[in-house]
A = this chain, B = another copy of it.
């Protein structure tokens, strides 16, 4: 076989849709010596990580923890645990991740009612209300808080309020929203939520923070059929991530990744959640001003634009791939391509977590300006 050697990556500036730049502090935490997954010291760390996630999610939910797999598995965990074959669920779709929710719900055998809105616009609350009136036997309503594919913020508070007025469970994708924009799990009555580590937490990719309300937990405990996924079965996972020092082995936790998540959450707590959101908002303003000075236009209406994921219209006559390649190859700067029906039409510039700072905003604007000759 050929000879292989150690891989030394370039140091990129990550301003795509995630992963975002990971701080030295988090990378150091990641590389500390591995403990056993049942080591009492590691169990204490698990408990701290749970508390810190409760802080980040603004929830008192006891079942709040990181899942040992990426955000996509977090999404699947929602549907396989809360739905049973034949259950009716409404999924709001205005981008890639709403579509993915639909696909997940179908695969558990649920009856899926879709509420479609154009990509780049918000889910219309009145459409949800109408659908719920037509389908009063709906068990759950699912939607994406921050659509990473379009840069749109859906009105989580209002959508949950409507769902709750019809006694539905609420399932929310907070992959890109957590720690970047306001998110209040308890106050907004979110029953089940998942996020990712590689967005506004600026941790390495690979874990999915999740949280379930008491109502959701009871729903899972009272299931008639077993959860179709053994790996994602919350009834089993609580044996390992639950209360007390005595934990039952379920699977081997990704120990070092949890060191990293813990560190990123400590950093969030030290900055303060509100300050973090404020920083995302203000850096977005700087970025927007800079983009406009280059004659570029934001793709999403200001009223529901995400500060941490900026969809920017690609001007007529500009070669999308060439611009992104030059940014990567000449400036080690990653920005994101459009996804799905927005491919070739927008760039997605992330300002997430540790990457959300003046230095990156300046570098992005300067580099884009050079590449675009503006």
Q: Which residues of A contact B (CB under 8 A)?
A: 1-2, 4-12, 14, 16, 18-19, 21-22, 25, 27-37, 39-42, 45, 48, 51-52, 55, 68-73, 75-76, 100, 103-104, 106-108, 196, 198, 204-206, 226-231, 249-257, 259, 262-263, 265-266, 269, 328, 334, 339
Contact = CB atoms under 8 A, between A and B. Distances in A.
B37 A9 contact: no
B104 A230 contact: yes
B51 A35 contact: no
Nearest to A329: B40
Contacts of A39: 12, 328, 334
Given A205-B37, A263-B7, A70 B32 contact: no
Given A76-B231, A107-B226, A334-B36, A9 B41 contact: yes
B6 A29 contact: yes
A17 to B, nearest CB: 9
Contacts of A75: 230-231
Contacts of A18: 252
A68 B69 contact: yes
Residue among A4, A250, A255 facing the most chain B CB atoms (10 A cut-off): A4
Contacts of A253: 70, 205
A107 B227 CA distance: 8
Contacts of A229: 76, 107, 228-229
Contacts of A72: 230-231, 250-252
A22 B254 CA distance: 13
Contacts of A76: 229-231
A32 B4 contact: no
Given A9-B32, A12-B35, A22-B34, 4 more contacts: A1-B51, A5-B266, A12-B39, A14-B34
Contact of A254 (B28, B55, B103, B205): B205
Copies in the complex: 2
B33 A9 contact: yes
Given A12-B35, A36-B16, A36-B334, A6 B256 contact: no
B12 A36 contact: yes
Contact of A52 (B4, B40, B45, B227): B4
A128 to B, nearest CB: 23
Contacts of A4: 48, 51-52, 265-266, 269
Contacts of A252: 18-19, 70-72, 196, 198, 205
Nearest to A269: B4
A8 B34 contact: no
A32 B28 CA distance: 9
Nearest to A265: B4
A76 B251 CA distance: 12
For the complex of A and B, 8 pairs with smallest distance between CB atoms = A206-B254, A31-B31, A72-B251, A69-B69, A27-B31, A204-B256, A205-B252, A11-B33
A48 B104 CA distance: 31
A256 B70 contact: no
A228 B231 contact: no
Contacts of A249: 339
Nearest to A267: B6
Contacts of A68: 69-70, 73, 206
Contacts of A28: 31
B55 A1 contact: yes
A93 B70 CA distance: 31
